[in-house]
């Protein structure tokens, strides 16, 4: 089979013929139809994150937003059938026994194995997956539409959930890009009043098109004043990886508002204690999501309330996609066609 191999950190991926994977008793073999390209993949490939460098297997096949059909199953797999269309998320496996797992937070399992990092992922024609973590994809969604939901979708869903977003609240989404455009739609689907924050009229118009009732250019001198004029934000979901976005988001909150950390700036976030104490602001974060989060997001998308903006390209073009991502030249989510 064909697979895109990472020969060394910082090197282009190599499209090679590799042996067909053989699933173990609790695994399935999936013919990959589509695999999303995530910024986490880029960090893994470039080797710029120490934790990823340590965890990555040699000659890794990246990719953790995977959708395809089951073509083989292990002896102990009974709930999936040959031909079932399934998706595979960031979490390849979690122990189910540690305290976070028992509390329903398998995404925080410290023994977990990551798809496309500790084991080979979906930049390939075939891949193995733990059957318990391969989730059925609704028929209403194409493979390409569904693939990015297994990371981008569940990450912003969990951020909104952790921030306690409810109908009628004012929710600001900072950065209406690959993650942010999904956050706008989800918040709108939950009945929130959405405010999009980004740079330039094109992106602001995109936010309005997605359902944002207001859109604010963060370069405006009165950007914070505009948010405050609306009453301030009950929740600010920051998908941007720019530290100034966090600084502005905190200032846009109403008293008791919540700042949700999603985007990962290279430098530490710093907030004055008085700014937090003076408004009783909360800070929460989202670490990908659980299988229940995946199911909830797939249901939202299948109902037509959330649609990922995608661009599909062949697996052979993966290095070009990664270069575009490095240049910041991608608007929505890129999806590789793998078979």
Could you state, in order of their start, the residue ranges of all structural domains in the chain?
A: 2-150+308-337, 154-285
Q: According to the model, what pLDDT value does residue 339 have?
A: 82
pLDDT at 154 (0 to 100):
97
- For the whole model, what pTM was predicted? 0.95
Given a cut of 70, the residues of the chain with pLDDT beneath it are none
> By the 8 A CB rule, do 2 and 15 touch?
yes
- Token readout for 253 is 């909150």
pLDDT for 329 equals: 85
Q: What are the tokens at 212?
A: 């944002």
Tokens of 305: 């309330």
Residues 6+ apart with CB under 8 A from 103: none
**CA distances to 78, 89, 120 from 94, in Å:** 19, 12, 16
Give the pLDDT of residue 11.
97
pLDDT of residue 332: 85
* CATH of 2-150+308-337 given 3.90.180.10, 3.40.50.20, 3.60.20.30, 3.40.50.300: 3.90.180.10
Predicted local confidence at residue 151, as pLDDT? 97
Q: What is the pLDDT of residue 101?
A: 98
**Residue 23 to residue 329: CA distance in whole angstroms:** 37
Strand partners, 5: 14
What whole-number distance in Å separates Cα of residue 20 and Cα of residue 54? 26
Residue range 154-285 forms a domain whose CATH class is alpha beta
**CB–CB of 196/185 below 8 Å?**
no
């Amino acid at each position: 089979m064909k697979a895109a191999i990472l020969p060394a950190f910082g090197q282009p991926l190599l499209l090679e013929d590799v042996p067909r994977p053989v699933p173990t008793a609790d695994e399935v073999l999936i013919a990959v139809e589509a695999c999303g390209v995530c910024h986490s993949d880029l960090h893994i490939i470039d080797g710029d994150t120490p934790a990823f460098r340590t965890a990555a297997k040699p000659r890794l096949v990246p990719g953790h937003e995977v959708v395809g059909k089951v073509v083989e199953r292990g002896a102990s797999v009974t709930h999936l059938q040959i031909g079932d269309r399934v998706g595979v998320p960031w979490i390849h496996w979690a122990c189910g026994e540690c305290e976070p797992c028992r509390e329903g937070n398998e995404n925080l399992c410290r023994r977990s194995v990551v798809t496309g990092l500790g084991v080979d992922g979906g930049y390939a024609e075939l891949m193995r997956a733990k059957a318990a973590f391969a989730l059925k994809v609704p028929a209403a969604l194409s493979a390409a539409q569904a693939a990015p939901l297994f990371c981008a979708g569940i990450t912003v869903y969990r951020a909104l959930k952790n921030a306690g977003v409810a109908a009628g609240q004012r929710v600001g989404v900072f950065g209406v890009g690959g993650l942010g455009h999904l956050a706008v739609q989800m918040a709108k689907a939950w009945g929130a009043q959405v405010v999009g924050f980004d740079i330039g009229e094109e992106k602001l118009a995109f936010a309005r098109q997605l359902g944002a009732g207001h859109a604010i250019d963060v370069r405006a001198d009165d950007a914070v004043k505009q948010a405050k004029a609306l009453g301030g934000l009950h929740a600010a979901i920051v998908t941007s990886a720019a530290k100034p976005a966090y600084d502005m988001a905190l200032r846009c909150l109403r008293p008791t508002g919540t700042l949700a950390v999603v985007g990962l700036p290279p430098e530490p976030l710093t907030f004055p204690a008085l700014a937090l104490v003076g408004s009783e602001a909360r800070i929460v974060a989202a670490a990908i999501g659980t299988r229940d989060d995946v199911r909830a997001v797939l249901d939202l998308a299948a109902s037509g309330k959330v649609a990922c903006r995608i661009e599909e390209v062949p697996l052979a073009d993966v290095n070009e996609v990664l270069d575009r991502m490095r240049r910041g030249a991608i608007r929505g989510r890129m999806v590789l066609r793998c078979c």
